[in-house]
Structure 1
Amino acid sequence: MSLALDASAQNLLFREARTANSFTGEPVTEEQVQSIYDLVKYAPTAMNSQPLRIVLVRGQEARERLVNQMSEGNKAKTLSAPLVAVLAYDVDFHEELPKVFPHAPGAKDGLADEAVRHKLGSFNATLQAGYFLLGVRAAGLAAGPMTGFDAEGIDKEFFGDGRHKVLAVVNIGKPGPDAWFARNPRLDYEEVVTEI
């Protein structure tokens, strides 16, 4: 195979990695999460915009507020995961462009239209959410990403200023007993890729 990553890294990130539905009680440390972020922050976004914002939910009171917004099938695992990350995008991410995209001084002004920022911000933060999941796997942890929740409720509960919009909720930790569902089939190369 013509990949630069060795087989064990490929397996850790993709082939053997799974969405976890149960976790052990082993804590996820702040140092682990910082290491994950310090790795994935280098992945590409349009104009280096980096609109993803992450809220780590550790405290019991905050966890219960979050669980109240989750769909029924996601409540128990969200309550029991060692760490839960709420991934959102910053509607006003363009305010950081002078710092992160300094060679284009007019970039911030070019994004004055909030509707344009919503489209750009949600797409690029979704890319970053994917990078974040790979970073969790690279740390030897399992992730349980979910979109089954009341988005309006989470935005109101955790982002009352309206500046952030939730994209996903991710349970993080070491996989527990019976953590995996059976792996579903994947589409083959010929079903996805065309060449013209």
Structure 2
Amino acid sequence: MKIPLNDGGLDLLFRDARAYNGWLERPVSDDTLRQLYDLLRWAPTSANCNPMRVVFLRTKEGKARLLPALAPGNVDKVMSAPVTAIVAYDLNFYEKLPLLFPHNPAMRDHFAHSPELVETTAKRNSSLQGAYLILAARALGLDCGPMSGFDNAKVDEAFFGAGKSDEGSDQEFFPEGHIKSNFLCNLGYGDDSSLFPRGLRLEFEQACTLK
């Protein structure tokens, strides 16, 4: 029998969690980022497709490549955050299905011959995995600041297009044209003074129905 989280755990993940705009000068270690991924990777995706790919920007040089794509109001948020994650999706995710979904060998070809299904599946499931990333980060004591407010095409060109790495390492890991950005998420330890008043949420009766 599974034991539900206590109120402290639920507060940490949901009730007391906020979207931060400012950050304390406290670093996030690479080991913490690895722990974060090791948690979120176990959460479900369609046909275990795992389309999300993430670039964790931890340096000024990395963030400088992102700046031209940002809306002006998001520049300070990104530059002050210890880490900015580019949550993206791989349109060639189906090439890994023989490893991830071995009990149905036909699944790889099912996607390979259906580009519209690939796009829909990749974007939906990378969004799910991005939400898992936020929950995993909170579970590890990090704060999050998920963001839209950027030019996806510019991000894709800067990080997933031709010539994006002097050493070619990014090119090898993220083949040109196969990766598309979904959203950004700042990670770190939030500065409470940056918070806006908590917004309202819809009540059950406003958002749900029972049949």
Query: Which residue matches 2:145?
Result: 144
Query: Which residue matches 2:159?
Result: 158
Counterpart CA distance in 2 for 1:62 and 1:114 is: 31
Query: Which residue matches 1:123?
Result: 124
Query: Which residue matches 1:171?
Result: 186
Q: Secondary structure at the match of 1:98?
A: helix
The alpha-carbon deviation at position 52 of structure 1 amounts to 0.4
| Structure 1 segments of 4+ aligned residues over 6 angstroms from their partners | none
Query: Which residue matches 1:182?
Result: 197
CA contact (8 A) 1:68 1:75 kept: no
The alpha-carbon deviation at position 159 of structure 1 amounts to 0.5
Q: Secondary structure at the match of 2:107?
A: coil
Q: Secondary structure at the match of 1:158?
A: helix
Counterpart CA distance in 2 for 1:177 and 1:134 is: 19
Kindly tell me the number of residue pairs found equivalent between the two proteins.
194
Letter in 1 for 2:117: V
Q: Secondary structure at the match of 1:50?
A: coil
Letter in 2 for 1:185: L
The alpha-carbon deviation at position 43 of structure 1 amounts to 0.7
Counterpart CA distance in 2 for 1:174 and 1:183 is: 18
Q: How does 1:84-99 map to 2 (within 5 A)?
A: 84-99=84-99
What is the percentage of aligned positions where both structures have the same residue?
38
Counterpart CA distance in 1 for 2:194 and 2:10 is: 21
Query: Which residue matches 2:168?
Result: none
Q: Secondary structure at the match of 2:156?
A: helix
C-alpha RMSD of the superposition: 1.0
- Report the TM-score, using the length of structure 1 for normalisation: 0.96
The alpha-carbon deviation at position 25 of structure 1 amounts to 1.2
Query: Which residue matches 2:110?
Result: 110
- Report the TM-score, using the length of structure 2 for normalisation: 0.89
The alpha-carbon deviation at position 177 of structure 1 amounts to 4.6
Letter in 2 for 1:49: C
Letter in 2 for 1:68: P
Structure 2: segments with no counterpart, 5+ residues? 162-175
